[in-house]
Each structure stands twice: as C-alpha cells, then as structure tokens.
Amino acid sequence: MYLFRLAMASLANRRFTAILTAFAIALSVCLLLAVERVRTEARASFASTISGTDLIVGARSGSVNLLLYSVFRIGNATNNIRWDSYEHFAANPQVKWAIPISLGDSHRGYRVMGTNESYFEHYQYGRRQNLELASGRAFATDPFEVVLGAEVADALHYKLGDKLVLAHGVAVVSDKPFASNAEQAQALITAAERQGSLLSVYQNRRWDSDYLTLRKLIDAGALGEITRFESRVERYSPQAVGNPSGGGWLRDLGSHLVDQALQLFGPVDRVFAQLQFTPQHPTLDHGFFVSLTHTNGVISHLWGSALQNSQAPRFRVSGTLGCYTVDGLDGQEDALMAGKSPKTEGEHWGAEEHRRWGWFEQGEERERVPSEKGCWTQFYRQLQLAVQGQGPLPVSAYDALETTRILDAARLSAERQQVVSTKIE
C-alpha cells in the first residue's frame, strides 16, 4: 500500500510528463492499429478488384505504377507493349490464359481500356467472381463495339446502340478510306473540332509524279479546256480479292481517284457507277467504274480493278488543245518495297525514268512530257508545319468528307443501277 501511495505521489509530482507518456503510448497504439487496418483494407480491396491472377506484365516502368494503373486505374498510364510481345507471352505453354490491356484513352472524364473478349472470360474479382453484362454483348463481331460500366452509362445517359467517339486530343492522320460513309466522316470531323485536334487524311497520291505533271500541264493551259478526265488503277492481284481491310476496291483505291478528280475539277453534280464482285465475295467489290459529272462540265471516268491482266493508261486527259497520257503507277511504292527511301536516294527520289514519261498528243504531233518528281514526303513536311501552327494541313478532313460523300453516291448508284444526283441545293 505504501508503494502504491508513493507511486501515485510521484506521478502527481510529474503529472505533465506522465500525461505526455500516456498520450504517446496511446498514439502509438492507434497508429499501429491504423496501419494494420489500412494493410488489411488494401489487401481486401485488391482481392475484391482482381483475383485468380498471378502476373501482370507491362512495358518498362515501376512495378507499383503498373499495378496501380492496370488494376486500380490510379496514376498515369504506362507504356504499352507490342502486340507480338503479348502474343509471345500468351503462347507460352506455362501460361493458361492472358488478357491484353491497353490504357491511356479517356471519354468525357472516364478512363477507357482497350481489350478483347478474353477480359470477360477470364477476369475475376472478389471470390473468383466473373464479370457479368447487364445487357448487350462483349465485342461479339465488331471491333468498334464498346462495353460500358453501369456508372458511366448512367452518368452519361448512354443506352444500347448509341455511338460515341474516343479521342486523345492529339493531331491525327487517318489512312484511306477515311470512313465507311459520310455520316461517320462527319462524326470524326465534329469530334476533332470539339477536341481542338488537327485531323488530316493520308491522300499521298496527290504527290504522285504523274498527278503533279498533269496538274502542271492543266495550270499552264497546255491542254486547253479539259473535256474528259480518265483515271485508272488496274492490277492483277487475285490475292487482294475479298480482303476486307479496305472495305472493297472502290472504298480503298477509289478514294484516291475520286480525291484527285475533285482536286483537279471541283464539285460533282451527278454520279454513275458499276461494281464487280465474285461469287465467293458478294459484298466486297474487286473492280469498279465511276462516272462523275463535275459542276464545270468536265466528265471524269474512273476505273479500278484487282483482276485486270492488261492495264490501260493511268491517265488520259483530253482538252481542246491536246491530250496527255501516261502509263503505269508512280514509282515511289515500288521503290519503298525494294528497300529504298528518300534518305538512300537523295535528290533522285521520286524521279521517273525517261521511258516512263507521259505523252502530249495533238493530231499527228506526239512528244514526251518530262515527269515531275513524286514526293510523298511532302505530306509530312506540310503536316509538321501545320502541327507547329505554321501552315495549313496537307489534306483537309473536309476534302475527305466530300470524297466519302461521292463514294456513298457511287455505291448507291451501283445498287440502284441509275444516276445519282450529288448536287447540293
């Protein structure tokens, strides 16, 4: 009893120090419990977010950053790995399944993840629970389909069948065909304008040797008033028949021919077209003929074929003062396929051999026309200046929209077997 009274007296005498000691002990215990709670909650949160997964593979980055962004969508996106790298990992016999994930996009403030149907087949959370769709399907047939989270669908008032546009907010160059139809083309332009992003289309045939030569002759008035423009891209490439990547020969190469005709002779009032199909590929044309009646009266006849053994002239352009013809395609494509480049060829890049020059003909007169140098790289030079704010885009998206509108009319004409008016009242 004496010792207890002595201890209490000592504490009373040192009460401030005793209170601080007790507070420090209590704080330490609270911190210890808090850390343990956070650790437990983090483990539970991770387990509820993903389960049944042994390894996350990504490009060179911090492991914590990779984990946080790929699983919890926290932080900045890591770099993506190459698709063939993913295929290499997935093909490993020790790998039971793999899910490709591409991150970095956003839509109206919500993060976007690129993946495929394996995400819905293998991804699990909680106690090995699979993801379930409230409605719709998971990328069944169309690679452009989107699966929305319930929260996003509710917040943005989306429903099945709605269309949305994903955007990085950076300058974009689209290959041809620009879009499947004019409606899609306009949607892309609207999205780019809303984002303040530059949008151009790779119509590199504007910098073909033969096209540049023809444009020079027309601008100089050497052919007089143009009455008929004939343009062809004909090949014998049976392996290209049925290839769905370009959406058919008309959409693919036809976009080049229509773009050139519009650049040379302006708007079109009427379109007539015929398409060729094989029984094996009844929806993908391998050949076409398109007749355009321009507002200024010029008639453009455009041909394309993947099964033509005997190619006609690339251009035949008739005017009141003469006719210009040239055979074969611009040589830049063949040079690139042979491993050559503007860097290896220097000032000789794009130059055509004398025997490949075109002809000017007027009555009995016939003379060679030296070809201008082709220069596909000019597209990128102009694009660089446009990105730097020092010039216009090399190809306006509105030019591509007009080309797409003409191609829509051509398909409609072939379907109905009649002339289609494209004149805007």
Taking residues 124-128, report their average pLDDT. 70
Q: What is the pLDDT of residues 49-83, one digit of tens each?
A: 666 677 888 777 777 777 676 776 676 666 778 88
Residue whose token pair is 């029984």: 279
307 three-class SS: strand
In angstroms, the Cα distances linking 310 to 94, 233, 318 are 54, 11, 22
Nearest to 248 by CA among 240, 260, 256: 240
Helix axis angle, 182-195 to 397-416, nearest 10°:
160
Q: What residue ranges in 160-295 does DSSP mark as E strands?
A: 172-174, 199-201, 226-234, 268-276, 287-294
Q: What is the pLDDT of residues 266-294, one digit of tens each?
A: 999 999 999 999 999 998 999 999 999 99
HEC profile for 6-47? Answer: HHHHHHHHCHHHHHHHHHHHHHHHHHHHHHHHHHHHHHHHHH
Q: Is 200 exposed, middle or buried (0-12, 13-18, 19+ CB in 10 A)?
A: buried
Q: Is 143 exposed, middle or buried (0-12, 13-18, 19+ CB in 10 A)?
A: exposed
Q: What is the pLDDT of residues 326-361, one digit of tens each?
A: 999 999 999 999 999 999 999 999 999 999 999 999
* Tokens (6 digits) for 16: 């401030």
Q: How confident is the model at residue 143 (pLDDT cuts 50, 70, 90)?
A: low
At 323, which amino acid appears?
A: C
Q: What is the pLDDT of residues 195-248, one digit of tens each?
A: 888 999 999 999 999 999 999 999 999 999 999 999 999 999 998 888 877 788
114 phi-psi bin (left φ>0, alpha ψ -120 to 50, beta other): beta
Q: What pTM, to 2 d.p., does this model score?
A: 0.70
pLDDT, position 126: 66
Taking residue 95's Cβ as centre, other Cβ atoms within 10 Å add up to 13
pLDDT, position 137: 76
